[in-house]
Each structure stands twice: as structure tokens, then as C-alpha cells.
Structure 1
Amino acid sequence: MTEELRCIGCGALLQTEDPQKAGYLPASSLAKIQADPDAEVYCQRCFRLRHYNEVQDVELTDDDFLNLLNALGQSDALIVNVVDIFDFNGSVIPGLHRFVGDNPVILVGNKADVLPKSVNPRKLTNWLTQAAHAQGLRPVATMLTSAKKGKMIDELLDTIEKYREGRDVYVVGVTNTGKSTLINQIIKRLTGVQELITTSRFPGTTLDRIEIPLSDGKALIDTPGIIHRGQMAHYIDTKDLNLVAPTKPIRPAVYQLNPGQTIFLAGLARFDFLRGKRSGFTIYVDNQLLLHRTKLENADAFYEKHKAGLLQPPRPNADFPELVRFEFTPKQKSDLVFAGLGWIVVPAGVTVAGWAPKGVDVLIRKALV
């Protein structure tokens, strides 16, 4: 590859190895560019943006994103922070409140379309707000959206307009939150309905931001997703990502358990019922994820024998971290949350343990249902 061959849209060095990294384009496209001295030199991301108004996510290094976050506090802007409602802890940007300065923040919980109807949206919104407060973030508004289904996009745009007060808008989030899908929905709405932005040309497209012009001369600015190492998605094969990012409404599974029983969530997590009276436990995970019940006394040996076999994912030969144990005795009906995977509703007064890969959070919250 020619060392000096860079994308004229974003400035990234062109490469054909990793579609998730900046500057990617297929080898066949690069060969055509190299053979034609007059060819437009665009990476795949910029090509799709230029011709289809479609934003694709691209991963930057932690240092790159740190520089971007530092720029937030130096600007006068509204910040839209997109998080995954199934994985708040894995999708929150650590220390974001220190970077935004005095700029207002709208918190957007994405992927609401896969929640069962029994989940109270108001409870979920309140929980997201409280979880943000625990991180030091004080959002001026908290909203639920479905980027994939295009739901609540108009309401989000109205909220953005309410709080931006003539300023630029920065959309930030970690990878796997659906941020780029949300941006694409916004572009679709603005270009197709309200005609607030130009329809095919996005000035200021650089490696660290995409500027979508607004009618008053300001811009809605998309930023690349930061990699958060505490996400379950980083520990499984790409073919299994649908199991940690549900695409269809979840059908809860109810198990009647006696103390001393364990449920494996494939090989990705484990739930132990330690002490208490026989109780019902409702599990909210992707409908295709394997749930396997066994005796607690045999659980360790069972996992060692069947991980990456009966208990898939993870897949054979995968570099999968050891499971780490967290014990809880909730005083009220609560959700035991496996970050990025789902949750189990636990009655008050029982003692349970949740296991997840090292680095992935297991936490307790007031039940949403």
C-alpha cells in the first residue's frame, strides 16, 4: 500500500485490513484507485457518507477520544450522550461529567424497542437518570429511543432544539450503543422532512467528527465511538453479537427455583440461588440465549466441562475471561443486572450470586417490572 495514500474526506491513511478502523476500504477498491490517477480517494466510511448520507461507526484509540472529549469542554454546545439501556455501565463514558464542563447533556437510552411491554418506561427513565447521577452526570433530560425502529426520533429532535439554544450539538457514545444508527435516523428525518440540512455534502468531515449542518449555521456533530473494555460484546465472537444485543422484543422466562440451584446463561454468565424459600425468578435476555438449570454443588465442574460446548457462546478456542462472582441479598424486589446481557428479577430477602466475565459489571437495582 502506498504510504501517502489518504482519504480526502477524513485524512485517514487508507487500509484494507480492518473494517472497524479508520481509513478502511476493500482491497478491490484500493486497486482501482491505485490504477486510476484521477480517481476520488475516499475510504468506505466517507464514500457511504458522501453518496448515501449514511454514517458508519469507526473506532479510535483512547488517546484520540480523550482529545475529542477535551474539546467538548472548550466548546459552547449541547451534548447528546447515547447509552445502551441493556448496558448502562458498559456504555457510559467514564468521567464524561468532567469533560463537558458547563454544557448541558441530554441522556438517550437506546434500544427501547426490544423491551417487553411489562417494563415501565418511566421507571427505566428514572433509573437511567439516577445511574447517571451516580456517575456525576446531571442530564437536563433523559429519553428512550429505538434507533433501529426509528421511534422517538422526532421527540428527540424537539428536545435537542429546546435545549441547544442556537449552539452546536455533539453526539457522543461508546461503541455498540447504536449511536451511528441513531445519527442515520436523524439525517433521514432532517433531510427528508424538515430540510434543515444539506442533503448530500457534509463539510468539516474529519477523522474525529462529522458535521451535519443545521439551518442556522450551527451543526450536529457525530463523533466516533470509544471502546469501553467492560462490554460483554468485546468477549464474544462477532457471529454471536445478536445474543448480547437483542433485535426482537424479549420474551421473559420464569423459573421456579429451590435454594442450591444454578442457571447458566449460555457460557457467558451464571446465576446462583443461595438462600431463601422456593421462589420464582424472571429472566430477561435475548430469546435465543441458552438457559441451563443445574445443581449449585455441581456448577463449577459443569461449567469447566461444558463451556464452549453445550454452553455456547463462548465458542471453542475463544480467549474468554474467567467468571467473577458477586453476591447480593436485596431488601426489596430487585433486578440482578448482567451488564450487556440482561437481568433477572429477584424477590426481596433471598441471597443470590451473579457471575460474569472479569471486567463486566454485575449489579443490583430496583425492579423495573
Structure 2
Amino acid sequence: MTEQEQQTEELRCIGCGSIIQTEDPNGLGYTPKSALEKGKETGELYCQRCFRLRHYNEIAPVSLTDDDFLRLLNQIRDANALIVYVVDVFDFNGSLIPGLHRFVGDNPVLLVGNKEDLLPRSLRRPKLTDWIRQQANIAGLRPIDTVLVSAKKNHQIDHLLDVIEKYRHNRDVYVVGVTNVGKSTLINQIIKQRTGVKELITTSRFPGTTLDKIEIPLDDGHVLVDTPGIIHQEQMAHVLSPKDLKIVAPQKEIKPKTYQLNDGQTLFLGGVARFDYLHGERAGMVAYFDNNLPIHRTKLNNADNFYAKHLGDLLTPPTSDEKNEFPPLERYEFHITEKSDIVFEGLGWITVPAKTTVAAWVPKGVGALVRRAMI
């Protein structure tokens, strides 16, 4: 072991949890030697990636593999802990961890719906809580309780801490979730509540901010563990540039838009997705997307030509200089028998009535699905 390795062996970035190293600028945990010495003096030791993310909003690629993330989560199976499972209520289906039961073992799961501030205030929160619980049951989960919060707005964090204490029973707490659900923002709020320290953990809208588990001491000698976000490959965040992601990822309460459609009409959701009304009576379709996402209506029989002609200018994002790199759209057809949501994972959804046939187009690799209507 080199002298440098000995010096940095136990040092970890307080932003993402990576082991600090000063030799490989492209590796995880890299920080210049000068920054290492300064960080040791101040007690605020960040890797270069987290430093740039915090101060310049510069996004660096994640070099951990899916297997690395899953291997870390496997440790939960052998733990005796309360599992706090964080989902994004705006992108519920895209924030589900497939086969979570394999990782939690016999440990109880507390389901936390984050970003509730993005949904219309007219949606009653008890109804939303019940909807989330039912959707979790469909996915095979049986949470002991469900809590709605907004980590960004610091809403209901005190209540969440009380619920955690109620079910913890002098055990560790593991916080799990896929990337982009606001998990690190939630952890930051918990730390702030408990210690007064602001923004200890690096937060970002982009996948893969937390690169190793981070342990936060609790009063009784146990710890609250922030685990790395599981990368959900079907998220829209993986096909959009950081600039475009800011346009389609809601940052404030969404305002639903109703479109009276005849069959044979198409809605383009910017240039990133498409909705076709194939068969049914004239009906109102309610769109739930970021308020800044431009939506264009056209005739179905002209939709292909319209997309080819206007992608990158009228239909943005992507922008004109990014459209050649954007994945082609793939089509999914749905026959609707009851009021349902057509979900464009990571983007939003359109609520459609019963007795209709519709199609959803999403970038190759991104998921589209039908679910029972949330609203």
C-alpha cells in the first residue's frame, strides 16, 4: 500500500460516500491533494465530483455498475432494520424497485411518497395515500405504513421522523430508493432537523448522486443509512440531456391540461413522447406534465411527417443540435376498459376514459404503461 493510500484509506466523501483518493482523476472519490488537506482541516471533505456538483451544478458520469448497487443493497437482507422506501409520487411506477422483497428479507417497510407538492392541491392527500398503498400492494409490497412528504419543501418531515421512531424499535434504519426520487434531499432534511447541518449530502436531479452508503448516527447508538440509488434504466432521465431534463422534470405544482379529442388525433409532448387517440367517442383527456413542457395537437394521419419535420424546433426538447442523438420513439398500444392513466415513465401521464384505444410513444428504452387512474 502506498503512503497516499494509507493516508486516505478511511477517508470518505461526505457528499456521496466514496472513498477519497488522489491518484485517479477519472475514478470515484478523486480529489486533488490540496483539496484533501483543506478538507481534513475543515472537516468538509468532498470528492471533486461532489464539489463541482454542489458549486457549479456540473454533472459527472457514474462509473458504478448496476451490480455494484445491488451488491450494496444485498447487505440489507442480513440487517435487522426498518426499511424506509422512498418513491416519487409524480413518477411512482418509474421509482419502483423490481423485486424489493428480495432485498428487505423479513424487515418491515415504511413507504414514503416524496414530491407530493408537485401534485394538484385539489387531490385529497388521504386519497393519494390510499392510491399509493394499493399500487404498492399490486407490486407485491405490504408496507407497515405510508407517509407523504415533500423533502424540497420540508413538508411533513417531523411527522416522518415520528413515524420512523414509532416503527424502528431500537434498530438501524435503511433508506432505499431508485435514483431521482429525492432521497438524498430527504436525508439532508433529516440531518438538518437532527443536527442543524445543511446540505451534508450531495443532491442532484440526475441519476447516481450517492455512490456508497452513508451512515448517520442516531441517539441510541444505531444508524440511519443512506444507500445508493438503484438505477432504473427505464427512466426518462437516462435519455435526456441535463438541460432538457430541467424542462420536463417538474419543480413546482403541476397544472393539469384538458384536451377534447376525437379519435384520429395526436398529442406531441415536446419531442420526447407522443399520445395517439385511436378509437373512441369524443372525450376529454387530462394531461399531467411539467408546466413548461410544450404540447402540440395534430392529426394522427399526419403525425409521422409532423414529427420528422418539426423535431428539434417546434417539438422540443430535444433541441435541434441534440435531435440526431435522441433515441427513436417506440409505440405501445392500450385498450382501456376503465378510467386509467397512460404513464410515460419519468415524464408524466394522461388520464383517459373507459372504452377507448390509445397508443403511447416513448424513447427506446423508456417505459410506458397503463394503471388505475390516480386522480
TM-score by length of 2: 0.83
1:328 aligns with 2:334: yes
> Which residue is equivalent to 1:53?
none
Instruction: Give ranges in structure 2 of 5+ residues lacking alignment.
Output: 13-17, 52-58, 202-209
**2:336 counterpart SS class:** coil
**Aligned-pair distance for 1:109?**
1.4
**Aligned-pair distance for 1:292?**
0.4
In 2, are the aligned partners of 1:119 and 1:368 still within 8 Å (CA)?
no
1:215–1:47 CA distance, 2 compared to 1 (3 A): farther
Find the aligned partners of 2:37 and 2:173 in 1 and give their Cα distance: 40
2:265 to 244, 261, 282: 261
RMSD of aligned alpha carbons: 3.2
> Which residue is equivalent to 1:348?
354
1:310 aligns with 2:318: no
In 2, are the aligned partners of 1:232 and 1:244 still within 8 Å (CA)?
no
> Which residue is equivalent to 1:42?
45
> Which residue is equivalent to 1:63?
67
Find the aligned partners of 1:121 and 1:35 in 2 and give their Cα distance: 49
Indicate the larger mover: 68-77 or 336-345.
Answer: 336-345
> Which residue is equivalent to 2:55?
none
1:272 aligns with 2:280: no
Find the aligned partners of 1:102 and 1:298 in 2 and give their Cα distance: 54
Indicate the larger mover: 283-292 or 249-258.
Answer: 249-258
Q: What does 1:98-247 align with in structure 2 at a 5 Å threshold?
A: 98-192=102-196, 208-247=212-251
Q: What does 1:16-27 align with in structure 2 at a 5 Å threshold?
A: 22-25=28-31
Q: Can you list the C-alpha shifts for 1:5-45, whole angstroms capped at 9, x where unaligned?
A: 85722424348867xx83154xxxx2634899x97893338
1:296 aligns with 2:300: yes
> Which residue is equivalent to 1:13?
21
Find the aligned partners of 1:6 and 1:46 in 2 and give their Cα distance: 17
1:32 aligns with 2:38: no
In 2, are the aligned partners of 1:33 and 1:39 still within 8 Å (CA)?
no
1:92 to 90, 96, 114: 96
In 1, are the aligned partners of 2:19 and 2:28 still within 8 Å (CA)?
no
In 1, are the aligned partners of 2:86 and 2:176 still within 8 Å (CA)?
yes
1:360 aligns with 2:366: yes
Q: Which amino acid aligns with 1:116?
A: P
**1:329 counterpart SS class:** strand
Find the aligned partners of 1:200 and 1:284 in 2 and give their Cα distance: 30
Find the aligned partners of 2:199 and 2:296 in 1 and give their Cα distance: 51
**1:186 counterpart SS class:** helix
Find the aligned partners of 2:361 and 2:78 in 1 and give their Cα distance: 41
**2:370 counterpart SS class:** strand
1:329–1:39 CA distance, 2 compared to 1 (3 A): same
Aligned length: 347
1:46–1:359 CA distance, 2 compared to 1 (3 A): closer
**Aligned-pair distance for 1:223?**
1.3
Q: Can you list the C-alpha shifts for 1:248-274, whole angstroms capped at 9, x where unaligned?
A: 111111111111110000011111111
Find the aligned partners of 2:198 and 2:249 in 1 and give their Cα distance: 31
**1:241 counterpart SS class:** helix
TM-score by length of 1: 0.84
**Aligned-pair distance for 1:368?**
2.3
Find the aligned partners of 2:131 and 2:118 in 1 and give their Cα distance: 17
**Aligned-pair distance for 1:323?**
1.4
Q: Can you list the C-alpha shifts for 1:197-249, whole angstroms capped at 9, x where unaligned?
A: x99999xxx96221111111111111122222110011111012223321111
In 1, are the aligned partners of 2:192 and 2:198 still within 8 Å (CA)?
no
Find the aligned partners of 1:47 and 1:266 in 2 and give their Cα distance: 31
**Aligned-pair distance for 1:144?**
1.5
Q: Which amino acid aligns with 1:366?
A: R
1:273–1:140 CA distance, 2 compared to 1 (3 A): same
Q: Can you list the C-alpha shifts for 1:100-121, whole angstroms capped at 9, x where unaligned?
A: 1000111111111111122232
Indicate the larger mover: 275-284 or 327-336.
Answer: 327-336
**Aligned-pair distance for 1:94?**
1.9
Find the aligned partners of 2:30 and 2:94 in 1 and give their Cα distance: 26
Instruction: Give ranges in structure 1 of 5+ residues lacking alignment.
Output: 49-55, 193-197
1:74–1:250 CA distance, 2 compared to 1 (3 A): same
